[in-house]
A and B are shown apart, each in its own frame.
Chain A
């Protein structure tokens, strides 16, 4: 079952802007919206971005999402130490009739 492709790691210093990429295919990202989740081990994953670029209530505007073709990206500006976590992209796949996740990107704040 093919998933979405993310870099395994990303890093930045406090105050910096980092971006995390997510690559898929015409059957998932190319045809449906992308969502982003933040996950700390042992806790419930949290929805950060839905419908490619929408933030749920309570998510700071430091987090933004975009999509172009079969790729998407998550940008985090004004990096904080508390942003250290695993970040996952996900999208509906028309051929699977279900979701595919990226492999996750571990963000380190140096």
Chain B
């Protein structure tokens, strides 16, 4: 059974660094044709893709946030970590991690975590 679970702080002060962990089970982070993404949803707004890391450690980031984001993984712990520096109140929202499945030339998120709500406030 594939599961993903996000964890991290509930409250972060502005300008601090937010660090979130996605712990996966039911698959290996080194599986070919798989990866993990982070996606967030500000309150009342749409889903927004943040970052990817694939099985070959290939990474990519949202253009608007790339200077503030870092994604990494620890395959031995089955964890993917996302760091967001210089947080602001606009970074408040629910953060999801999702498994990427690659089929030939297609890519999609086939499993998602439940999400973790993060509030940026002093």
Decide: A104 near B47, CB < 8 A? Known: A45-B96, A98-B60: yes
* Residues 54 to 110 of chain B near chain A (Cβ within 8 Å): 60-64, 96, 98, 101, 103, 105-110
Nearest neighbor of B100 in chain A, beta-carbon distance:
A99
CB pair A39–B109 under 8 Å, yes or no, is: no
Q: How many positions in chain A have a CB within 8 Å of any CB in the partner chain?
A: 28
Contacts of A104 in B (CB 8 A): 46-47
**Which stretch of B7-15, B22-30, B111-119 is in the interface?**
B111-119
> Which residues of chain B have C-beta atoms less than 8 A from A110's C-beta?
none
Given the interface contacts A44-B96, A44-B113, A98-B52, does A50 sit within 8 Å of B63 by beta carbon? no
Interface residues of chain B: helix, strand, loop or mixed (majority)? strand
Assess the B114–A43 pair: CB atoms within 8 A: yes
Q: A101–B108 contact, CB under 8 A?
A: no
Contact with B along A80-99 (1 / 0, CB 8 A): 00000000101010001111
Answer whether residue A100 sits at the interface, using C-beta atoms and an 8 A cutoff.
Answer: yes
Whether the pair A98, B108 counts as a contact (CB closer than 8 A) is no
- A binding-site residues for B, Cβ under 8 Å: 1, 3, 32-33, 35, 37, 39, 42-47, 50-51, 56, 88, 90, 92, 96-104
Between A and B, 24 residue pairs with Cβ closer than 8 Å are: A3-B46, A32-B105, A32-B107, A37-B47, A42-B115, A44-B114, A45-B47, A45-B112, A47-B108, A47-B110, A50-B103, A51-B106, A88-B46, A88-B47, A90-B108, A90-B109, A92-B107, A96-B60, A96-B63, A98-B49, A98-B52, A99-B37, A101-B49, A104-B46
